[in-house]
Amino acid sequence: MTTTRRPPARPGAAPDRGRAVWIGGLVLVVLLGIVAVLVAAGGDDEVDEDVASRQTAPVEVTTGSGTTVEAPADALLPTFEEGAADEAVGRTIPTVTGRTFDGEELTIGPDGTAKVIVFVAHWCPHCQREVPVIVDHLADAPMPDDVELVTVSTAVAPDRGNYPPEAWLEEEGWTAPVLADSEDGAAATAFGLKTFPYFVAVDADGEVVQRASGELPPEVFDQLVEAARTGEPPT
Amino acid sequence: MDTDTVTLFFALLAVAAQAAVVVVVVLAVGRRWSPALARAHRRVVEEVGPQALGLAAAVAAVCTGGSLYLSEVAGFPPCRLCWYQRAAMYPLALVLAVAAWRRLHRLRPLVAAVAVVGGAVSIYHLLVERYPSLETTSCDPDNPCSIIWVERFGYLTIPAMALSGFALIVALVALARPSAQEAP
């Protein structure tokens, strides 16, 4: 500070007072910056590298008959469009083979069991709301013995929040097996995912009966389960 | 410096902005009933008023810089609603700087109107974050407005920080007075 003489408080003294306001503001900002650096240095909520590495895994996509797909278009279900007649109905689902978060091999495909496949993304708020709805519903009305519930955790993005998906699904009490999709979402693409949450009801013959997306109320989820079990879409 | 430290710094700035807005509102409303608050209000207007446009320009510049940091350095892509808020905030930085420099106090209503519109978008964005069904029933893999990229202290998401900035700009513009020297 070069000013040593402070003029008495009068209207003409505004510029000097103004400097005090600016200096005060600047000091506050610098202090907050120092606090941020100190606090952030102390906290360490980084996700362990091991955990991070198992949130996605390579996925192999094959046709229903078991040949590895060179031209994937053959095996893929068409992209799901809400409201339009679903061209995927009646088509055999592809087989996707990958790993669970525990590193165990998991295959989802036409294996003789009817199933409902749920695709979720950890950062998607609609998925975050749908998962507990299904968990609560299944506590009251479990899946029938002849229909399986399987999950694909896709679109993993560590910076998008609610990461890692493994911790999220465990916290929600999600017990169905979870396939960790590949980084480029091979399983989601194979099943024609457009938005999440995304549901594919598959009958015992491995054919698509119905597909849906969005937050589904329990009764609509039940319709999907019933569609998978009977092979008949709801009328 | 990592993204965590910087977003924490932004969150602290937002808390400071909120505190300042609360003080201004309490003084502005309370002065009708309390002589002590009326004196305090006069004092704040006297001290801060002549600098308020410049301070508001600084707030808008910090918000602009922060928003560019989040998209360009931290790599969080701005969603549709983010862009509407940016459309309000970025010009405010320029217009307020010119208004402060040229002592254009008559621009205050215009600046306040832009900040209020920006703040209204922030409020809607906050609602979409809490109630995603307002906008969509399912998530597009690309970049829905309902993703919460940053959340500090349990409530400070990016639009909450933007709202703090817009509110402080409105509060400062409301306090702005020409200094005694400039007064006609």
pLDDT average, residue stretch A125-130: 93
pLDDT per position as a tens digit, A55-71: 888 888 887 655 555 54
Give the single-character DSSP code of A94.
P
Nearest-Å Rg of the Cα atoms of chain B is 18
Close Cβ partners of A80 (under 8 Å, ≥ 6 residues apart): A86, A88, A192, A193, A194, A198, A211, A213
Q: Is the peptide bond before A218 cis (omega within 30 degrees of 0)?
A: no
A134-A136-A139-A142 Cα dihedral, nearest 10 degrees: -20
pLDDT for position A43: 63
Residues of B with CB under 8 A from a CB of A: 1-6, 8-9, 12-13, 16, 46-48, 50-51, 54-55, 58, 74-76, 129, 132-133, 136-141, 144, 146-149, 151, 179-181
What does the pLDDT read at residue A9?
47
Residue-by-residue pLDDT tens, chain B, 184 positions: 788 899 999 999 999 999 999 999 999 999 999 999 999 999 999 989 999 999 999 999 999 999 999 999 988 899 999 999 999 999 999 999 999 999 999 999 999 999 999 999 999 999 999 998 888 888 888 788 888 888 889 899 999 999 999 999 999 999 998 877 775 5
> What residues of chain B lie within 8 A of the CB of A163, using their CB?
none
Residue environment code for B158-180, b if the CB has 16+ CB neighbours within 10 A, otherwise e: bbbbbbbbbbbbbbbbbbbbebe
What are the pLDDT digits (tens) for A176-233?
Answer: 999 999 988 899 999 999 999 999 999 999 999 999 999 999 999 999 999 999 999 8
pLDDT in tens, A133-155: 999 999 999 999 999 999 999 99
State pLDDT tens for residues B108-158: 999 999 999 999 999 999 999 999 888 888 888 878 888 888 888 989 999
pTM: 0.82
